[in-house]
A and B are shown apart, each in its own frame.
Chain A
């Protein structure tokens, strides 16, 4: 890494691992709370995506902290899978909406019995 690059990174080095983990945890908790409080399936799905990103930030932070790129590699895989999953999930939601004309998750509870 060139000295210039190092200089550019310098201000960031004031940030510690703790900051990143705090951000990650905040994202995760926002996602969790959203998942638990919302009934709209699209919003719930977005909240799970938030939780995903929280976890991804934690992974990247740990990877940087330990100077190990496998954390970043892992996140790239997670994002790819999440994108594919998003396409699938939104498609499913569209199908479910067509069936019952509603986006509420409570409409789909027949399996409990």
Chain B
């Protein structure tokens, strides 16, 4: 055993890096010749228009799917071409967008935001998996959504195209405004696709919830954008005059956050709010599990692989800014990430809906990514995004295949022994591999490498309670292993047994038998799994490291110095963490194996025993009820807002409408009714009223002075 441990010093982890200089990161220079890269954005946009046309022309075949796959796949190949021709960071101007100037002399301000692309290695890392996975998942959806051919098939693919366009704008924009455009665009696409089954009230609710919760985060981003412009005078990352945000930070102009006002220090936290909203972290994570109401390809693409990583991208891109403007910014990110990882893992342990378990695992893994960013290993964070995109997409797509085949069945208690059923082998084993990646199974899984980079860093970095954070990360890894394999052992292993769901779709209507996935689903699963395997190799040969180092996220790269100065095994977390993580993972898998494959009854017994025990019963209940976070939000936010809303409603309904508006309308009528008796048709009475009126006027004229004196006396002065 000792020999084995000693051997671990030579684990194949590429941690021998050149120490980066303080705040040294490569910046882009403008280039005139590469406008073709703009096709990465234009292709999905064209695809959206064509899908819209298909919807308008009522085309009821798979044409929209093929258009989307072709155009987004085209976008992937343009990205690939951009990657292959890449030499150094560049900005590519597509067209001038906003050029506003006002004021004179000292007070002169400008607002410049071009429709330009900022291409460095981080951009490429993101765009490669965004466009690649989007194309593959669109291919998957061509089969998955076929039950809706007569319904919203074209609408679905138009939404996917919008999403890819917005995500490309978010990642590739060379200024915060373009990022914001994409940010809102992906939020809109997410709303569009979660609410795809708009006849289902729960889907509509989930879409609204996602949109509204995201608005809170978006508000943070918008304010951060404004304050950045206010303070730096620009929203461009870099520009030709050398006054871009990163130019200024690299020049050290703003390195001292103490010198500025509170609003400068607020910028990192506002960006964080945006990131936590989009990437579903505490306190804004509640929308993501509900977002699973959308079609499964959407869950895989938007709510697992790509869109939810936008927050990680934002913080990785803005890493120098976070580092420079407030000393507590990065620890906050790390702690929020760590706590979210733990919280959502505990929730995931007690759910029965496969997609929801995977959704909570997404939240949990996103927590790891933020932890990585916060712990100053942007490489760990960003590369975990990359590996996670593949295996989480596979997990959702396999869950979707199960739903598709079993008429909407996603309860893990109701499907068992999938791998023994004919035609389900590819689904079962790609799911197995993706589960291994998610739990970080030693050596053969991509998650192992990226997650260990983050967890080890928790014991290296110096910050408030980082050691405790590292322990949280390891405990979360144990829980992750348990709940992930709980799904696999329940669904794919064990005796063959199943119940069909209640959502028979399309030509399946009436079939009570599951149907195995066909070519498009199996092919997609295999290709993405191959991508997950390839990402191990890309990690080991240093590609991932290089991709993050060649960008503005470079200051947050794990320094190799620790590995060299601390020779002993326990002195360098990078040597012992893989072993600790492996043991934790295996322990978690074993527990899951015992409770969910070997003795399935034991799990229920344990739960019953805990529920029967008055001291311990709160734990399973709280976990199954998601720690009552939704209920807390309901009690402390929704309910007060509801009360205020009703108070305003009553004021409007009864004070404004009834008293003011209706009162004004009714006053002439009352007046008319009061004088109506005068119109009695008797000429003499008219004459008498006229004579009386004239007499009254005559009296008033005669006694004006006396009258004024009387009124003055009565009303005090102003009469």
A-to-B contact residues, CB < 8 Å: 32, 35-37, 39, 44, 105-106, 108-113
Residues B688 and A36 in contact, CB atoms below 8 Å apart = yes
Give A33 to B679 CA distance when docked, in angstroms.
21
Residues B681 and A32 in contact, CB atoms below 8 Å apart = no
CB of B682 within 8 A of chain A?
yes
Query: Which residues of chain B from 661 to 714 have a CB within 8 Å of any chain A CB?
Result: 679-684, 687-688, 691
Give A37 to B691 CA distance when docked, in angstroms.
13
Give A35 to B688 CA distance when docked, in angstroms.
9
Residues A106 and B682 in contact, CB atoms below 8 Å apart = yes
Instruction: State how many angstroms separate the Cβ of A97 from the closest Cβ of chain B.
Output: 16
Using Cβ atoms and an 8 Å threshold, which residues of chain B touch A35? 684, 687
Give A44 to B683 CA distance when docked, in angstroms.
10
Instruction: State how many angstroms separate the Cβ of A108 from the closest Cβ of chain B.
Output: 8
Known: A32-B691, A36-B688. A105 touches B679 (CB 8 A): no
Task: Classify the secondary structure of A's interface with B.
Answer: helix
Task: Classify the secondary structure of B's interface with A.
Answer: helix
Q: Of A39, A44, A110, which is within 8 A of B681 by CB?
A: A110
Instruction: State how many angstroms separate the Cβ of A104 from the closest Cβ of chain B.
Output: 10
| Most B-side CB within 10 Å, residue of A35, A39, A108, A113 | A35
Residues A109 and B691 in contact, CB atoms below 8 Å apart = no
Instruction: State how many angstroms separate the Cβ of B494 from the closest Cβ of chain A.
Output: 91
Residue of A nearest to B676 (CB): A112
Q: Of B681, B687, B688, which is within 8 A of A112 by CB?
A: B681
Residues A112 and B684 in contact, CB atoms below 8 Å apart = no
Give A37 to B682 CA distance when docked, in angstroms.
12
Residues B679 and A112 in contact, CB atoms below 8 Å apart = yes
Residue of B nearest to A39 (CB): B684
Give A45 to B684 CA distance when docked, in angstroms.
12
Given contact pairs A32-B691, A44-B683, A106-B682, a sample of 9 additional A-B residue pairs in the complex whose CB atoms are under 8 Å apart: A35-B684, A36-B688, A36-B691, A105-B682, A109-B680, A109-B682, A110-B681, A112-B680, A113-B681
Using Cβ atoms and an 8 Å threshold, which residues of chain A touch B681? 109-113
Residues A105 and B691 in contact, CB atoms below 8 Å apart = no
Instruction: State how many angstroms separate the Cβ of A59 from the closest Cβ of chain B.
Output: 16
Give A36 to B695 CA distance when docked, in angstroms.
15
Instruction: State how many angstroms separate the Cβ of B658 from the closest Cβ of chain A.
Output: 31
Give A106 to B679 CA distance when docked, in angstroms.
13
Using Cβ atoms and an 8 Å threshold, which residues of chain B touch A111? 681
Residue of B nearest to A105 (CB): B683
Give 20 CB contacts A-B under 8 Å. Answer: A32-B687, A32-B691, A35-B684, A35-B687, A36-B687, A36-B691, A37-B684, A39-B684, A105-B682, A105-B683, A105-B684, A106-B682, A106-B683, A108-B683, A109-B680, A110-B681, A112-B679, A112-B680, A112-B681, A113-B681
Instruction: State how many angstroms separate the Cβ of B690 from the closest Cβ of chain A.
Output: 10
Instruction: State how many angstroms separate the Cβ of B212 from the closest Cβ of chain A.
Output: 59
Give A111 to B678 CA distance when docked, in angstroms.
12
Using Cβ atoms and an 8 Å threshold, which residues of chain B touch A108? 683
Using Cβ atoms and an 8 Å threshold, which residues of chain B touch A39? 684
Instruction: State how many angstroms separate the Cβ of A112 from the closest Cβ of chain B.
Output: 3
Instruction: State how many angstroms separate the Cβ of A54 from the closest Cβ of chain B.
Output: 13
Give A36 to B681 CA distance when docked, in angstroms.
14
Using Cβ atoms and an 8 Å threshold, which residues of chain B touch A44? 683
Using Cβ atoms and an 8 Å threshold, which residues of chain B touch A32? 687, 691
Using Cβ atoms and an 8 Å threshold, which residues of chain A touch B688? 36
Give A112 to B679 CA distance when docked, in angstroms.
5
Instruction: State how many angstroms separate the Cβ of B696 from the closest Cβ of chain A.
Output: 15
Instruction: State how many angstroms separate the Cβ of B702 from the closest Cβ of chain A.
Output: 14
Give A113 to B679 CA distance when docked, in angstroms.
8
Using Cβ atoms and an 8 Å threshold, which residues of chain A touch B691? 32, 36
Using Cβ atoms and an 8 Å threshold, which residues of chain A touch B682? 105-106, 109
Give A32 to B681 CA distance when docked, in angstroms.
18
Give A44 to B688 CA distance when docked, in angstroms.
13
Instruction: State how many angstroms separate the Cβ of B162 from the closest Cβ of chain A.
Output: 67
Instruction: State how many angstroms separate the Cβ of B685 from the closest Cβ of chain A.
Output: 9
Give A86 to B679 CA distance when docked, in angstroms.
26
Give A32 to B691 CA distance when docked, in angstroms.
8
Residue of A nearest to B685 (CB): A36
Give A68 to B682 CA distance when docked, in angstroms.
41
Instruction: State how many angstroms separate the Cβ of B263 from the closest Cβ of chain A.
Output: 73
Instruction: State how many angstroms separate the Cβ of A41 from the closest Cβ of chain B.
Output: 9
Using Cβ atoms and an 8 Å threshold, which residues of chain B touch A106? 682-683
Closest 4 CB pairs of A and B: A109-B681, A112-B681, A105-B683, A36-B684
Query: Which residues of chain B from 604 to 635 have a CB within 8 Å of any chain A CB?
Result: none
Residue of B nearest to A35 (CB): B687
Residue of A nearest to B680 (CB): A112
Instruction: State how many angstroms separate the Cβ of A107 from the closest Cβ of chain B.
Output: 10
Instruction: State how many angstroms separate the Cβ of B698 from the closest Cβ of chain A.
Output: 11
